[in-house]
Structure 1
Amino acid sequence: MTDELGLRERKKLATRRALCDAALKLALDDGVAALTPERIAEEVRVSPRTFRNYFSSKEEAIVAGLQDRAHEVADNLRRRPAGEPIWESLRAVLLPSLENSMPGHDLMQLLGLIRCHHALLAEHLTSFEELSRRMTEVIAERTGTDAARDLYPRLLADASGIALKTSLGLWSTGATGRSLADIFGEALDLLSKGIPAPAAESGPG
């Protein structure tokens, strides 16, 4: 039964990824305005109903890859060694996520689409909100803080998100001649020098 469920989940993930890849490819090739959920479904050879089981709109499907990677980053952060300093853990999970996200040309084109379409921008911002929420939870676990009460995990998660957003914006201009990972690595270095980790709370006496 477990193997059957595992196979079913893998098939669902494969269908979602195929729809996401098709939506992005068609949006880059033909433009967002001409794209429809039916066209995306046709490209993957599934029904429009299947598309709606995974995504509520074409815009959500186009940026879904970014949202999925937000989940992966948080999961990878949770798996880092328990005693590793939080900034080292962030660097270890965030930089590879940028390098492995998608081909640089496609990512730059996607960011260009996002800047030009308000609905895509809204979905893109949602992905950053989701990344921040999940990162806050994991950072709180790793630093012994409370995600609901303490400022530190929220501040660190939001600061990392802003660093990523700023790095993406600078890199997408093409003016620096630097890789996205290099720019973002510098951003993390700058942040790590200005946000000291909280002192560990002493236990009850």
Structure 2
Amino acid sequence: MDLDTGGLRERKKQETRVALSWAAIRLTVERGLDNVRVEDIAAEAGVSTRTFSNYFGSKGEAIAARQYDRSRAIAAALRERPVGEPLWEAVTHAVLTGFALGEQGQGRAPDQAWIEGVRLMVAEPALQGEMHKAVTAGEAEFALAVAERTGTDAATDVYPQLVAAVVGAAHHVVIQQWLGSDPPPSMETLLRDVFGRLAAGLPEPR
């Protein structure tokens, strides 16, 4: 197989996966989970229902995929940071870069209706299982990147697992702060605040 052809094919597959995931999110935010069918998601993304089934087993899995893809983007960004950069400084830059990459494709500025729809979506009980799986898989991916950077073992050493868990918790706090603010601050502002505190050792507020 020609390497360029293979790379193009993989890129197209990833673009389709992202399009399906964003379609699932958009429709769920606008209509509510119970009012969205797999057929609707496929049509929104411009593909067949069969194509949807090649990528995801359910609409919940398609929605949760954004969580995992964002974690992968952050892990990839961490691997690109300079070797001598302090870990938490590198993590902060990676989160800012990876989060921005992970949000490409949304194609809209958040308004109050969108934010309220997202609040309802993330609180949907039927999505919690898929979201938990995505978070767990994302933390494992990020722990591998931390282990590579620190010369530790992601499977047996506490350190990369702990860093990944802290980053996951910080991401959750950022999302909750964004959803709970009226009007919401920029995501970059929240990320810099939260990860800046972590980089400083999480000192007590004065």
**Structure 1 position 142 matched with structure 2 position 143:** no
* Greater Cα radius of gyration, structure 1 or 2: 1
Q: Is the Cα–Cα contact under 8 Å of residues 146 and 160 in structure 2 kept in the other structure?
A: yes
Q: Contact (CA 8 Å) 1:98, 1:180: kept in 2 or not? A: no
Cα distance in 1 for partners of 2:43, 2:137 equals: 29
For 1:31 and 1:58, locate their aligned partners in 2 and report how far apart those are by CA, in whole Å: 12
Contact 1:114/1:124 (CA < 8 Å) preserved in 2?
Answer: no
Q: Is the 8 A contact 2:70 2:99 kept in 1?
A: no
Distance 1:175 1:46 in 2: 37
User: Superposed, which structure 2 residues align to 1:57-72 within 5 Å?
Assistant: 57-72=58-73
Q: Percent identity among equivalent residues?
A: 37
Instruction: Kindly provide the amino acid, as one letter, of the partner of residue 65 in structure 1.
Output: R
How many corresponding residue pairs? Answer: 195
1:187 aligns with 2:188: no
How many Å separate the matches in 2 of 1:144 and 1:164? 24
Q: 2-side partners of 1:110 and 1:66: how far apart?
A: 17
Q: Which residue is 1:153 aligned to?
A: 160
Moved more, 55-64 or 182-191: 182-191
Distance 2:192 2:42 in 1: 38
After superposition, the Cα gap between the structure-2 partners of 1:99 and 1:48, relative to the gap in structure 1 and judged at 3 Å, is closer
Q: Identify unmatched segments of 5+ residues in structure 1.
A: 196-205
How far is 1:89 from its partner? 0.7
Deviations 1:2-21 (A, max 9, x none): 12212221221222122122
Instruction: Give structure 1 regions of 4+ aligned residues with deviation exceeding 6 angstroms.
Output: none
Query: What does residue 14 of structure 1 align with?
Result: 15
Higher relative contact order (CA 8 A, sep 6+): 2
Q: 1:121 to 1:4 in 2, by over 3 A?
A: same
TM-aligned CA deviation for residue 55 of structure 1: 0.5
1:128 aligns with 2:103: no
TM (normalized to structure 2)?
Answer: 0.83
Q: Which runs of 5+ in 2 are unaligned?
A: none
Calculate the aligned-residue CA RMSD, in Å. 2.3
